[in-house]
Amino acid sequence: MSGKFDIIVVGGGHAGAEAAWACARMGAPTALVTLSIATVGQMSCNPAIGGIGKGQMVREIDALGGLMGLAADATGIQFRVLNRSKGPAVHGPRCQSDRHAYARWIQKALQECPNLEILEGEAAEIVIESGSVRGVAMADGRLLSCRAAIVTAGTFLNGIMHMGEKVWPGGRYDEPSSCSLTKSLTGAGVQAGRLKTGTCPRLDARTIDYSLCARQDGDDPPSPFSFMNSSLNVQQVPCWLTETNPAIHAAVRENLHRAPMFTGQITSVGPRYCPSFETKIVRFGDKDSHQIFLEPEGRDTDWVYCNGIATSLPPDVQDFMVRNIPPLRNAKILRYGYAIEYDYFPPTGLRATLESKSVEGLYLAGQVNGTTGYEEAAAQGLVAGVNAVLALSGRDAMVLRRDQAYIGVMIDDLVTKGITEPYRMFTSRAEHRLCLRADNADRRLTPIGADLGLVDQERLGRFRAELAVGERIQEILKETRVNGKQLGDLLQNPRLGLDEAVALAPADVAVELQAARAAHAAILHSVLHDARYAGYMQREQLALRQLAEMDQRLIPPDIDYGKITHLRHEAREKLQSISPRSLGQALRISGITPADVTVLAIHLSKHR
């Protein structure tokens, strides 16, 4: 073999970019193999980053030293925090992105990263010998040597595109699919399945009548994703809101016999929370209209993304749909919507590190694990990259807990419960979301990123300075008394905001809080949120300690569940299939009861 690397990352999407960045930053000689360098970091679907649950994960990626938050801040054209009217635990940072600028930013960061080489070409086979990764065979005959491989191939594995009756191979519009990589993995014992996703028509902005739309502006001032940015100096671009109508719904119903989703042409399951427009019409038959968000794809392009009408209906039906929306009556369709079916690998076949249980040194991340969304993919890519390096260097794995990060919630859900449809992150999936706010991701995760070598000295110095300010604010809240009560306790009243707290405080304390607001607003508000939720969080601590104790009781990977005679037959089968890392993970497996875990705990104690 030639081209010797420690780690090869296959695929240049959001998962691949974060995986390659993490590996190289941690010192491992790394190759990123992609079909085209020009499409690395490309936004295949909507031109946006973040959202509810997703935005929290972007901030976690940033806190650990990843790329996505910095790239979003550098190339965003509109910034909003969703759910502002609700509590800070469910605030969701989101930005509308310039999709071309975003990809260029990611490409530049990777091209300038030491220890990283970007190679163009198709990875045809993961070379596996004696159950371990040994290299990657390229379609052009090159053989690349490595000790670990991270597959982040997105929708490219045996991708099939659908638009009405038309079917053609492809991994993305005008890009080929990869047709041999799945075979090399299934031949090594990795299970595979099929999923589906889709996208919407793109329109020419010059042909849209925006006077008939509702305008949607960004927040003023905009909130950055990255903890490295205190503020953003950005000229924001508006988005626009319109809606469908009964005439369009009737046309879709009349053409369901031509919709691949309903003719049997598409057999795979698509994302429940981002359904095709035709699925919406069938599922929500009582609705007369659905919202459409008209989202510009960048500052220097006329392309507009029609968020809300993803479809694989034939072009003539898409023409009717678009032209019968008043603001779009004269709209020119630049690209029709389409659906794509692709291979994925059920994530219950992975360890919590995202390493395959079947092949040593094989890691999977992103849509190949059954997720949907740039943010979910990027988070997995970072975790897979970190753990590949840690494994090769003989260090303990990084497994984030459910109370520690949304990333930990997602990966635990995937490897423990598996999926029946593409997985999307929501705040409701996190039982400890009061602790997992977007505002405190740095305090939760930056120390971990520093220990790993992902966080540079500039970021670490900034973090320590902010942490010192936060600790001083905590002291003020604890030591300042108003009418015999701690100021921090008073903040548990939801009607008491910062201004009211300052008004109640002694003059010297009020001055210090005002100064903190001027120079360190983010950490000030984060600490105030801690104080507001303190009562709830204290009640969670017992549950968290019990969870931590269960998660710290590790199960030997070579345990034979068939020999634990007191376990129910169903429990033995499920435990053998999932191979949980700890008693805590075992308890979260669907169908495993507390009694089963008690039997398992007794067995482990006897055979320690």
pTM, two decimals, is 0.93
Of 263-277, 424-438, 528-542, 573-587, give the lowest mean pLDDT range. 528-542
Q: Are residues 510 and 567 in the same domain?
A: no
pLDDT of residue 93: 97
Last residue of a domain, one of 452, 477, 511: 452
For 141-152, write each residue's pLDDT tens digit: 999 999 999 999
- Distance CA(51)–CA(404), nearest Å, equals 19
Backbone dihedral angles phi then psi of residue 308, each to the nearest 5 degrees:
125, -10
Residues with Cβ within 8 Å of 582's Cβ and at least 6 positions away in sequence, in order, are 550, 551, 552, 553, 554, 555
- Provide mean pLDDT across the span 107-117: 98
pLDDT of residue 218: 97
Q: Are residues 157 and 15 in the same domain?
A: yes
User: Which of 271-285 are b and which e, b meaning 16 or more Cβ less than 10 Å from the residue's Cβ?
Assistant: beebbbbbbbbeeee
**Nearest C-alpha neighbor of 566 from the set 535, 531, 604:** 604
Last residue of a domain, one of 391, 420, 452: 452
Task: Provide, rounded to the nearest whole percent, the portion of the chain with pLDDT above 90.
Answer: 82
Last residue of a domain, one of 522, 549, 576: 549
Q: Say yes or no to pLDDT of 430 above 70.
A: yes
- Distance CA(115)–CA(112), nearest Å, equals 9
pLDDT of residue 497: 81
Q: Say yes or no to pLDDT of 1 above 60.
A: no
- Distance CA(18)–CA(449), nearest Å, equals 13
- Distance CA(321)–CA(27), nearest Å, equals 52
- Residue 528 DSSP one-character state: H
Q: Are residues 524 and 384 in the same domain?
A: no
- Distance CA(112)–CA(108), nearest Å, equals 6
**In a domain? residue 594:** yes
**In a domain? residue 149:** yes
Q: Are residues 186 and 70 in the same domain?
A: yes
| Distances in whole angstroms, Cα of residue 374 to Cα of each of 123, 148, 480, 547 | 22, 23, 44, 30
Q: Higher pLDDT residue, 442 or 562?
A: 442
Q: Say yes or no to pLDDT of 434 above 80.
A: yes
Cα 255–257–259 angle (5° rounding)?
75
Cα 409–411–416 angle (5° rounding)?
95
- Residue 2 DSSP one-character state: B
pLDDT of residue 101: 98
- Distance CA(247)–CA(270), nearest Å, equals 26
**In a domain? residue 249:** no
**In a domain? residue 263:** no
- Provide mean pLDDT across the span 9-16: 98
Backbone dihedral angles phi then psi of residue 476, each to the nearest 5 degrees:
-60, -45
For 317-359, write each residue's pLDDT tens digit: 999 999 999 999 999 999 999 999 999 999 999 999 999 999 9
**Nearest C-alpha neighbor of 227 from the set 48, 468, 443:** 443
Q: Are residues 188 and 120 in the same domain?
A: yes
Q: Give the structural domain span for 524.
A: 457-549
**What string of DSSP letters covers 428-488?**
GG-TTTTTS-GGGHHHHHHHHHHHHT-S-HHHHHHHHHHHHHHHHHHHHHHH-EETTEEHH
pLDDT of residue 298: 97
For 513-523, write each residue's pLDDT tens digit: 999 999 999 99
**In a domain? residue 310:** no
**Nearest C-alpha neighbor of 96 from the set 225, 243, 272:** 225
Q: Are residues 53 and 18 in the same domain?
A: yes
**In a domain? residue 598:** yes
Q: Are residues 30 and 175 in the same domain?
A: yes
Q: How many domains does the chain have?
A: 3
pLDDT of residue 595: 85
User: Which of 529-550 are b and which e, b meaning 16 or more Cβ less than 10 Å from the residue's Cβ?
Assistant: bbbbbbeeeeebeeebeebeeb
Q: Say yes or no to pLDDT of 22 above 70.
A: yes
Q: Are residues 468 and 404 in the same domain?
A: no
- Distance CA(488)–CA(93), nearest Å, equals 26
Q: Are residues 524 and 492 in the same domain?
A: yes
CB half-sphere exposure, 503, CA atoms < 13 A: 5
pLDDT band at 2 (very low <50, low <70, confident <90, very high): low
- Provide mean pLDDT across the span 555-575: 89
Place of tokens 């009607």: 495
For 377-414, write each residue's pLDDT tens digit: 999 999 999 999 999 999 999 999 999 999 999 999 99
- Provide mean pLDDT across the span 571-577: 90
Query: Going by DSSP bridges, is the β-strand pair 239-243/291-296 parallel, antiparallel, or unpaired?
Result: antiparallel
Of 90-104, 236-250, 575-589, give the lowest mean pLDDT range. 575-589
Q: Say yes or no to pLDDT of 310 above 70.
A: yes
Backbone dihedral angles phi then psi of residue 63, each to the nearest 5 degrees:
-60, -30
- Provide mean pLDDT across the span 223-238: 96
